[in-house]
């Protein structure tokens, strides 16, 4: 089942909102053919007008991850207020709750996320986007790379597309991406973080190819939270996962960002994987992440992801569910 889709453009966004709110400020510079763009001329915060928010939204849909330099004025509160303009923030994390309810610290003292993953795919309602702000950075290293699941899907040969479109993967939180670093649990804080990460077990079956709820594009849903593929043996799952994952992270489908203090990155978590590169020795690195609520993935046949274990309702609403319920009650 396929749906015709006209891809939104930045011009569309400006013309839609420009009459009411003035022309959107900001220039968008693509960083590659498939993924990544830098946006200049915008000071992020809760004050932004609708046209500028529309420009940011459309740039995110088109480029999958967008970057802003020089946002040093932001703190956790103003970052959260800005995030509310783009969607409904989740709590910081489904299981990691000891570091605050709104903002999750990406803190190298707790581990290093040097593994390809999409955030929180072990719950049924995969977050739609993350907003990450650089706070303290090492003198060298510590960049982050994103890969486009849409470009990866489009680049598959037809026989592999057919395979991926009919596969389901089980995702779990039994492995903590923040503890798969070189330390290998040699420090007490890292071990405690991993224990908290796994304190409530989650398992969800997601389609390997989902239909993006806003663009209609098809995108691969992979990353290291995948435990196995439904209906395949462990050996078969490992072989198929390596085949698809290696393809998904080809350099042609990626963009790499070298952080500066005050930088903000926003990525479409429904259409990307990312990898924080642990090449900064024992230097300290800290960023702050706010996550936005998403929907339950749907495959090309209209089938929705299935929760096997764990209740994510306290972590996140399901985007669109409240509005849909209200419309139903008023009908």
Please identify which of the residues 125, 170, 274, 285 carries the catalytic annotation. Answer: 274
DSSP state of 177: G
> What is the pTM for the complete model shown?
0.87
Could you tell me the CA-to-CA distances from 233 to 21, 88, 142, 162 in Å, in that order?
56, 38, 37, 19
Give yes or no: 119 in active site.
Answer: yes
Please identify which of the residues 34, 57, 93, 117 carries the catalytic annotation. Answer: 117
> Sign of the CA dihedral 37, 224, 162, 126?
negative
- Is residue 108 helix, strand or coil? helix
pLDDT tens-place values along the chain, 331 residues long: 333 334 444 434 333 333 334 566 899 999 999 999 999 999 999 999 999 999 999 999 999 999 999 999 999 999 999 999 999 999 988 776 656 789 999 989 877 777 899 999 999 999 999 999 999 999 999 999 999 999 999 999 999 999 999 999 999 998 644 444 444 444 556 676 666 666 689 999 999 999 999 999 999 999 999 999 999 999 999 999 999 999 999 999 999 999 999 999 999 999 999 999 999 999 999 999 999 999 999 999 999 999 999 999 999 999 986 444 443 444 4
Helical residues (DSSP H) of the chain, grouped into ranges: 10-21, 50-63, 76-86, 149-154, 158-165, 188-197, 234-248, 321-330
Q: Are 207 and 1 in contact (CB under 8 A)?
A: no
Give the separation between CA 312 and CA 199, rounded to whole angstroms.
13
pLDDT of res. 320? 80
Partners of 228 in beta bridges: 170
Place of tokens 């290696």: 246
- Half-sphere exposure of 116 toward its Cβ, with a 13 Å CA cutoff? 21
DSSP state of 181: S
pLDDT of res. 287? 97
Strands 37-40 and 65-68: parallel
pLDDT of res. 200? 81
Give yes or no: 189 in active site.
Answer: no
Give yes or no: 117 in active site.
Answer: yes
pLDDT of res. 189? 61
Give yes or no: 125 in active site.
Answer: no
Please identify which of the residues 119, 176, 268, 295 carries the catalytic annotation. Answer: 119
Topology classification of domain 26-320: Double-stranded beta-helix (3.60.130)
Which phi and psi angles does 115 have, rounded to 5°? -155, 140
pLDDT of res. 47? 96
Tokens representing residue 272 in the block: 């990307």
The CA-based dihedral angle spanning residues 264, 269, 270, 271, taken in that order and rounded to the nearest 10 degrees? 70
């Amino acid at each position: 089942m396929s749906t015709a889709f006209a891809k939104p453009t930045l011009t569309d966004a400006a013309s839609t909102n420009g009459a009411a709110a003035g022309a959107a400020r900001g220039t968008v510079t693509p960083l590659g053919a498939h993924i990544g763009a830098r946006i200049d001329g915008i000071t992020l915060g809760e004050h932004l007008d609708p046209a500028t928010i529309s420009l940011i939204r459309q740039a995110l849909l088109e480029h999958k991850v967008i970057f802003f330099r020089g946002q040093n004025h932001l703190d956790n509160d103003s970052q959260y207020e800005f995030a509310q303009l783009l969607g409904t923030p989740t709590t910081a994390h489904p299981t990691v709750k000891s570091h605050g309810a709104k903002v999750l610290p990406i803190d190298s003292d707790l581990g290093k996320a040097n593994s390809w993953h999409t955030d929180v795919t072990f719950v049924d309602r995969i977050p739609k986007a993350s907003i990450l702000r650089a706070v303290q950075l090492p003198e060298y290293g510590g960049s982050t790379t994103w890969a486009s699941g849409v470009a990866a899907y489009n680049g598959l040969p037809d026989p592999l597309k057919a395979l991926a479109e009919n596969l389901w993967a089980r995702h779990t939180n039994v492995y903590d991406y923040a503890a798969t670093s070189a330390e290998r649990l040699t420090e007490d804080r890292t071990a405690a973080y991993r224990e908290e990460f796994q304190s409530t077990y989650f398992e969800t079956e997601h389609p390997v190819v989902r239909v993006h709820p806003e663009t209609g594009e098809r995108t691969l849903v992979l990353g290291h939270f995948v435990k196995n593929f439904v209906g395949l043996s462990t050996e078969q799952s490992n072989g198929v996962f390596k085949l698809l994952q290696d393809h998904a992270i080809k350099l042609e489908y990626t963009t790499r960002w070298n952080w500066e203090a005050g930088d903000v990155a926003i990525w479409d978590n429904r259409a990307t994987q990312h990898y924080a590169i642990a090449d900064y020795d024992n230097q300290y690195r800290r960023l702050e992440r706010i996550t936005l609520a998403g929907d339950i993935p749907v495959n090309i046949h209209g089938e929705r992801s299935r929760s096997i274990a764990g209740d994510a309702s306290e972590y996140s609403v399901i985007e669109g569910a409240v509005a849909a319920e209200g419309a139903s009650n008023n009908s």
